[in-house]
Amino acid sequence: MTGLITIRDLLFSYPGSPPLLSVKELSLDQGRIAVLIGDNGCGKTTLLKVMAGLLTPGAGTVTRSADPLVLVHQKPSLFTESVGANVAWPLKIRRIPRREIRKRLDAALEMVGLEHLENRWAPSLSGGEKQRAAIARALILNPAVLLLDEPTSNIDAPSVETIERVLRVLAAEGTTVIMSTHNLASAYRLADRLLPMVRGSLVPSHENVLRGRALDPGEEHIGRFQLEEGPVIYCPAARGTFTRAVIRMEDIILSAGEMVSSAQNHLAGTVATVLAEDSELVRIELDCGFPLDAVVTHRSVDELELKRGSTVYATFKASAVALY
């Protein structure tokens, strides 16, 4: 993978204000979806604007090795013209031949499901339709990197589903997608990489987001989730289409031997990495036939003699698994 956007030692603040961003290092790969999550005011939108080149950092570097790079804002601004005219506008101002514009306009509108609204007056669209039109206007440029600020915020469920589908297709075709969201369910469904932010800095994620599919529980009162690259794990019984299982690292118990308990999931694993996060917690990266991370105290590391290559057991309840 090649890092299409690389950030090092980034600092950003407005004149006379304390630093809003402090990002030590970040590299975003081609064909992946990275999702920024965090509370209002934590710096997600500011970081997207710095990545897009709309804001200049006071220190550090932002290296962009792909073009074009396009940012879709949270509240899209559409001209008082038709949907088609809005979406085609980036190509018209670049004097692209009319036949090429027609071809790319049709493809962009079809991708976001607005082909039947090409002649609709843009201001009359619903919130979800306006967001999809804004995304189509970005897609018509065939971006190598697509940045989106809260693309699924306050819009209807069908539009959320359409936007998520579009982003998955783009990533599969090689586009790098970086988005911010408050919608954790959407983040879990989409993210190849979660990027939590707190007070302007990126912090480690404490959640395992596992790909796979939920199996039909039938008449049973417990569910099963087939991991994409791994075994079946137990989870709450649920009917529907679920492709992500999320397990908080704090909910995983590590032991030197297999535990006898009411927990349904018991997995043998090998310690791949021992990484101190702070003065209290240590992240343990396990190979259980699939990557699984847990956090424990420094005391637990000593008592269990956890080091690279150690064999341990990971135990967690079915109820600790959330499906998305």
Tens digits of residue pLDDT in 301-315: 999 999 999 999 999
Spatial contact of 318 and 223, defined as CB atoms under 8 Å apart:
yes
Tens digits of residue pLDDT in 16-58: 889 999 999 999 999 999 999 999 999 999 999 999 999 999 9
Placement of tokens 């809003």 in the chain: 20
Look at residue 2 in the predicted model and tell me its pLDDT. Answer: 56
Q: Any idea what DSSP says for residue 244?
A: E
CATH class of 3-202: alpha beta
Look at residue 229 in the predicted model and tell me its pLDDT. Answer: 86
The segments of the chain whose pLDDT lies below 70 read 1-2
Residues 6+ apart with CB under 8 A from 301: 274, 282, 284
Spatial contact of 17 and 43, defined as CB atoms under 8 Å apart:
no
Placement of tokens 């600020």 in the chain: 149
Q: Where in the chain is the domain with CATH 2.40.50.100?
A: 207-323
Amino acid at 63: T
Look at residue 256 in the predicted model and tell me its pLDDT. Answer: 95
Cβ burial, residue 157 (10 Å; 0-12/13-18/19+): exposed
Any idea which fold 207-323 has? OB fold (Dihydrolipoamide Acetyltransferase, E2P) (2.40.50)
Strands 193-198 and 201-202, by their bridges, are antiparallel
Cβ burial, residue 205 (10 Å; 0-12/13-18/19+): middle
- Give the separation between CA 215 and CA 118, rounded to whole angstroms: 40
Q: Where in the chain is the domain with CATH 3.40.50.300?
A: 3-202
Look at residue 155 in the predicted model and tell me its pLDDT. Answer: 93
Sign of the Cα pseudo-torsion (15, 21, 26, 28, in order) = negative
